[in-house]
């Protein structure tokens, strides 16, 4: 499924205040929360969440979750959040109801329970339903503008993770693989240990489950009363949060809860029967001569139904409400064999709450075959969750299982035989069934170690796992190990005994100063390690940055020393971003390897980097299962992107006004050119015939074969809705160059193109460059053919590197161009840059080696102007204003794997990147080789007459008037003559970088004390051609004669490097 957008807004939320920042092209909500400490000492760390626009079908229409900064409570049948400024926005949406999102009956909560709820902020989290046809994400962005809203997010729908398989599989070979028999010799669990199954429903009458279902001792059956005061009437065996609803009701967010967690529907399949399968994996009755065994043996099942009875709905609804319900009922383990894409701060609040109460949340990693380090799932990716992947029958990670550094452990997940509704049994595959197998083992462990925290349980399960066969050392962090129940139950009977196993994990990452890296200067970062389990001797830490342009000190084996149970050690690092560091806003990821004897663990430290930049990077298209191969930005602001979604070719279209959609493609294109929202052309092979596809209505494509004039369609360029040129392989020994003048239905060879092909010469797909009326493209004979007048006349040049492979060509005007090429056809041949200053007639090879930038080059592009861009395979962007001799980073954000790029010539300077994502970078680049001129607009600032004891604010304004950006190195402020010390104080510093044409202000406040004439000198040091700019400040301080309206207090502000501010 695919989401796209062109012009929307990003909202950044801080814990103390909501700050909304609108940047064209961005469609995300970023939520940053402070660390929280619960009454029992459990600490939920500070976090950042980026919530992108959810895909259609993954959220409930007409519903949003709103967390306010103040708890207001809700009244029965409330339609407003009484007292909150959020009502101003909500009133425009047709408010239907407001309820507590994940709350319990406040009147029935104990004082202790209320404290936990308040720390998690669950008392401030509201479920809001509305009637107007407003997209929930758009309403959330509006709500974020309210100062009382901490965050607002859509209510997501989650899917169970399963893959049906042979139902006649009748054995359970995974039990001995996980060493269950010997583990049960240690503990068979306890009927006092409660495993909550939050799923589609559990058949509590099943012959192999009936004796294992937890019965609520606080409820009297069928008396119609909420005896235990938890807000759920007669929840004897758990609760059904959804009920028997229709598809239409599900789409509207309507649920019909009841107290029966079974599925009551005539059709039972792997969707609505999913929860019963999961329950059997965790805790089917064992050693009862019936059916199958569950890993949890004697542990009880708390049945919670979050799926509709109707299998056509197939969603998990109110899963996080159910996690809270299970936590409040005292569940020891909560299994979640479901998930959805993205992150959700409200879900994290619930996980924090569960962890603080001692519950271990176990979640399936998902069945997408994706790396969870880059593909986010919740709850699997949330902090404080024990995430479980799947292995196959060969004890290797299953090809469907999600994996990554964030997957704690793996368990069998292929052909897992378990209970199925109506006293049946089925074998199914998926991480859905790996997760409850581990949840049952966690239940055994909780029985043996009832005082262990959820963190200790998670780390112990991981530390005692078995390394998977045929996993290299380099891949071990991605596929850490398969659960070993016997070792889990027999280890760490004491922290100092012979069976001890450490559990050393990263507990915090702290950046000195502002909490983020904000400059290229060395920054101190402190890592905190904690040993949650057995004593460890000789702990060694190794650190590797995932970004090669970053240096870290110290390196190698860092000796941490001995770490007893509960010991904490801090390790300081010095991190320096190199001059080629490409990102302005990201988390720098550090891979930690922790060793102590035979003990091994991995952790991922994330260090926030927020460099000052005028650039703006936004994701336009994001889709699992789709790779965008070609992209263009039409003159009217329409995005056209060609993609293969799994195996089907499609187009994604997005307009500047928010319209568009998905359009079937007649074939997989090799090139694309768009002119408007209605006019687009593609080229490629259809049924082995060179073909051009074209649309004149923006919604469907027609095709025409062009094999008479082109043996392939290597590239295409639309000049208007009717006129286009296509190039391709030779026909009859002539390079294919064709033109259409009727929108694409008829193509003719350009007869006056004297382009005789050499033997076996071919045109290289993707090599072409189009700039105004000029075009260039490369061939397999190292030739570069070009025309400056849409193909009427032609010229040619050659790259004199034998066996070189031209990748792409870029010209910024009719003379100056660069070429990306590989030195040979070998798969590992290095990339190089060549340049031309005479329009492509001659080329200088090997003017630059892109690998020195720490990137794998993908393409060179230019939209004209004074520079070229070099694109890296992860979305790195570098600019050159001297024809490729040197390159500087054009700061961006990580863009996933990038396979293509397109520079945009529009009212703004931008480049489109496509691959795993399609993203837009709007940037400012002036290059280092232009003039750098900084001017002080007014060099004499007169504060006038100021009464003693008062103060007055004025500013020194500076302007960058050259061709290249100016870097501010430092500012000094010196008091002259008898002027009192600190009479003038800097209150607002200059930005470290001042772009060409930009102005900035240095705020300076006068503090008048003794009477007299005041004077000071400001000096601004920079890398401008005149490196020092000076301004003089003057004032006359008079006796007090009246009350001055200008009051206030300010201190000297010292800006981060590279600028420094001094008062003398």
Strands (E), 299-391: 300-305, 333-336, 338-341, 360-364, 377-378, 385-391
Reply yes or no on whether 808 is catalytic. Answer: no
Give the ranges where 153-261 is alpha helix by DSSP (H).
174-177, 180-186, 247-251
What is the number of H-type helices and E-type strands within the chain? 12, 70
CB 126 within 8 A of CB 101: yes
Q: Residue for token digits 């959040």? A: 81
DSSP labels for 238-278?
Answer: EEESS-S--HHHHHTT----BS--S---S---TTTTHHHHH
Distance CA 522, CA 969 (A): 16
Three-state secondary structure along 950-969? CEEEEEEEEEECCCCCEEEE
Distance CA 115, CA 934 (A): 56
As given in the structure block, the two tokens for residue 1062 are 């001094």
| Catalytic, out of 127, 206, 274, 460 | 274
| Catalytic, out of 315, 356, 376, 432 | 432
As given in the structure block, the two tokens for residue 625 are 């299962």
Distance CA 242, CA 750 (A): 66
As given in the structure block, the two tokens for residue 760 are 């076996």
Q: Which residues lie below 8 Å from residue 682, measured CB to CB, with a gap of 6+?
A: 630, 642, 665, 667, 669, 671, 672, 673, 692, 693, 694, 701, 716
Q: Residue for token digits 């005292």? A: 330
Helix (H) or strand (E) holding 455: helix 454-463
Measured in whole angstroms, how far is the alpha carbon of residue 657 from the centre of its chain?
25
Measured in whole angstroms, how far is the alpha carbon of residue 1031 from the centre of its chain?
46
Three-state secondary structure along 389-436? EEECCCCCECCCCCECCCCCEEEECCCEEEEECCCEEEEEECHHHHHH
Q: How many residues does the chain have?
A: 1064
SS3 state at 37: strand
Q: Which residues lie below 8 Å from residue 588, measured CB to CB, with a gap of 6+?
A: 517, 545, 546, 547, 550, 575, 606, 607, 608, 609
Reply yes or no on whether 75 is catalytic. Answer: no
Q: Residue for token digits 């981060």? A: 1056
Distance CA 938, CA 1031 (A): 7
CB 414 within 8 A of CB 390: yes
CB 619 within 8 A of CB 559: no
CA distances from 583 to 612, 849, 877 (A): 10, 20, 9
Q: What is the rounded radius of gyration, in angstroms, for the C-alpha atoms of the chain?
A: 32
CB 29 within 8 A of CB 153: yes
Give the chain's end-to-end CA distance (angstroms, integer): 61
User: Would you call 110 exposed, middle or buried from its count of C-beta atoms within 10 A (0-12, 13-18, 19+)?
Assistant: exposed
Reply yes or no on whether 274 is catalytic. Answer: yes
As given in the structure block, the two tokens for residue 355 are 């962890």
| Catalytic, out of 199, 203, 234, 328 | 199
Distance CA 878, CA 582 (A): 8
Among candidates 357, 352, 377, which has minimal Cα distance to 367? 377
Q: Which residues lie below 8 Å from residue 608, measured CB to CB, with a gap of 6+?
A: 48, 511, 515, 516, 517, 586, 587, 588
Q: Hey, what's the torsion of the CAs at 85, 88, 91, 93, to 10 degrees?
A: -100
Provide the annotated active-site residues.
199, 274, 432
């Amino acid at each position: 499924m695919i989401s796209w957008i062109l012009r929307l807004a990003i909202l950044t939320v801080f814990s103390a205040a909501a700050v909304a920042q609108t940047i064209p092209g961005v469609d995300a909500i970023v939520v940053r929360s402070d660390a929280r400490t619960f009454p029992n000492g459990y600490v939920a760390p500070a976090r950042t969440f980026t919530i992108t626009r959810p895909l259609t079908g993954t959220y409930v229409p007409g519903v949003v979750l709103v967390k306010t900064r103040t708890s207001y409570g809700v009244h029965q049948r409330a339609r407003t959040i009484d007292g909150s400024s959020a009502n101003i926005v909500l009133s425009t949406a047709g408010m239907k109801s407001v309820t507590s999102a994940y709350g319990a009956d406040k009147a029935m909560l104990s004082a202790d329970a209320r404290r936990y709820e308040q720390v998690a902020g669950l008392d401030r989290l509201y479920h809001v339903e509305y009637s107007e046809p407003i997209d929930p994400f758009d309403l959330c962005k509006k709500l974020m503008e309210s100062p009382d809203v901490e965050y607002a997010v859509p209510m997501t729908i989650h899917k169970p993770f399963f893959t049906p398989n042979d139902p006649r599989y009748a054995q359970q070979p995974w039990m001995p693989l996980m060493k269950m028999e010997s583990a049960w010799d240690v503990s068979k669990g306890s009927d006092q240990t409660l495993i909550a199954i939050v799923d589609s429903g559990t058949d509590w009458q099943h012959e192999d489950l009936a004796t294992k279902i937890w019965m609520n001792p606080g409820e009297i059956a069928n008396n119609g009363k909420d005896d235990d005061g938890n807000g759920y009437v007669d929840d004897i065996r758990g609760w059904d949060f959804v009920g028997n609803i229709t598809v239409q009701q599900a789409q509207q967010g309507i649920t019909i809860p009841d107290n029966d967690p079974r599925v009551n529907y005539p059709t039972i399949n792997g969707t609505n029967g999913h929860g019963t399968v999961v329950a059997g994996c965790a805790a089917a009755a064992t050693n009862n001569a019936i059916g199958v065994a569950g890993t949890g043996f004697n542990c009880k099942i708390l049945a919670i139904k979050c799926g509709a009875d109707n299998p056509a709905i197939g969603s998990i609804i109110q899963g996080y409400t159910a996690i809270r319900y299970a936590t409040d009922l005292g569940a020891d383990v909560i299994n979640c064999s479901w998930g959805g894409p993205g992150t959700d701060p409200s879900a994290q609040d619930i996980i924090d709450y569960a962890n603080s109460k001692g519950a271990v949340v176990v979640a399936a990693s998902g069945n997408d075959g994706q790396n969870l380090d880059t593909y986010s799932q919740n709850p699997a990716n949330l902090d404080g969750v024990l995430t479980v992947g799947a292995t196959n029958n060969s004890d290797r990670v299953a090809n469907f299982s999600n994996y990554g550094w964030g997957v704690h452990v793996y368990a069998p997940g292929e052909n897992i035989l378990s209970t199925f509704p109506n006293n049946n049994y089925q074998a199914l595959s998926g991480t859905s069934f790996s997760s409850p197998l581990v949840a049952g083992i966690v239940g055994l462990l909780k029985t043996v170690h009832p005082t262990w925290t959820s963190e200790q349980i998670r780390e112990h399960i991981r530390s005692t796992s078995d390394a998977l066969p045929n996993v290299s050392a380099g891949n071990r962090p991605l596929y850490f190990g398969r659960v070993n129940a016997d070792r889990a139950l027999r280890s760490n009977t004491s922290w100092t005994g012979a069976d001890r196993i450490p559990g050393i994990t990263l507990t915090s990452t702290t950046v000195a100063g502002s909490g983020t890296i904000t400059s290229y200067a060395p920054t101190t970062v402190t890592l905190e390690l904690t040993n949650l389990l057995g004593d460890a001797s000789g702990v060694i830490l190794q650190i590797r940055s995932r970004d090669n342009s970053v240096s870290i000190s110290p390196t190698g084996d860092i000796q941490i020393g001995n770490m007893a149970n509960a010991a904490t050690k801090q390790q300081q690092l010095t991190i320096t971003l190199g001059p080629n560091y490409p990102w302005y806003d990201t988390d720098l990821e550090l891979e930690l390897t922790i060793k102590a004897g035979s003990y091994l663990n991995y952790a991922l430290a994330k260090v926030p980097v927020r460099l000052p930049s005028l650039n703006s990077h936004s994701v336009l298209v994001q889709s699992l299962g789709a790779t965008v191969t070609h992209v263009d930005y039409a003159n009217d602001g329409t995005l056209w992107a060609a993609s293969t979604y799994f195996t089907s070719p499609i187009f994604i279209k997005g307009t500047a006004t928010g319209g568009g959609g998905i359009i079937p493609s007649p074939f997989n294109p090799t090139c694309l050119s768009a002119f408007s929202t209605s006019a687009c052309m593609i080229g490629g092979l259809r049924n082995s015939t060179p073909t051009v596809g074209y649309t004149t209505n923006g919604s469907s494509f027609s095709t025409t074969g062009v094999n008479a004039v082109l043996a392939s369609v290597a590239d295409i360029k639309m000049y208007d809705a009717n006129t286009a040129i296509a190039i391709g392989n030779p026909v009859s020994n002539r390079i294919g160059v064709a033109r259409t003048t009727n929108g694409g239905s008829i193509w003719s060879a350009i007869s006056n193109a004297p382009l005789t092909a050499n033997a076996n010469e071919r045109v290289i797909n993707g090599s072409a460059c189009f700039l105004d009326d000029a075009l260039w493209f490369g061939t397999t004979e190292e030739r570069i053919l070009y025309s400056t007048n849409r193909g009427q006349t032609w010229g040619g040049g050659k790259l004199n590197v034998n066996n070189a492979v031209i990748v792409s060509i870029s010209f910024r005007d009719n003379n100056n161009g660069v070429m990306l090429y590989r030195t040979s056809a070998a798969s590992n041949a290095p990339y190089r840059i060549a340049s031309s200053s005479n329009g492509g007639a001659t080329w200088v090879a090997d003017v630059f080696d892109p690998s020195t930038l720490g990137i794998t080059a993908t393409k060179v592009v230019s939209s004209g102007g004074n520079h070229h861009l070099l694109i890296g395979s992860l979305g790195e962007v570098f600019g050159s204003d001297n024809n490729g001799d040197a390159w500087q980073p054009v700061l961006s954000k990580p863009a996933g794997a990038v396979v293509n790029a397109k520079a945009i010539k529009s009212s703004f300077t931008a480049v489109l990147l496509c691959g795993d994502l399609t993203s837009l970078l709007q940037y400012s680049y002036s290059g280092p080789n232009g003039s750098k001129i900084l001017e002080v607009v007014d060099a004499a600032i007169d504060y006038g007459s100021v009464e003693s004891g008062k103060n007055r604010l004025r500013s020194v304004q500076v302007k960058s008037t050259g061709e290249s950006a100016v870097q501010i190195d430092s500012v000094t402020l010196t008091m002259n003559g008898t002027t009192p010390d600190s009479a003038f104080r800097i209150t607002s510093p200059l930005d470290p970088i001042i772009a060409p044409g930009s102005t900035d202000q240095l705020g300076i406040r006068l503090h008048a004390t003794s009477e007299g004439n005041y004077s000071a000198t400001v000096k601004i040091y920079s890398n401008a051609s005149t490196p020092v700019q000076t301004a003089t400040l003057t004032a006359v301080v008079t006796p007090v004669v009246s009350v001055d309206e200008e009051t206030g207090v300010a201190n000297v502000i010292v800006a981060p490097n590279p600028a420094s501010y001094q008062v003398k």
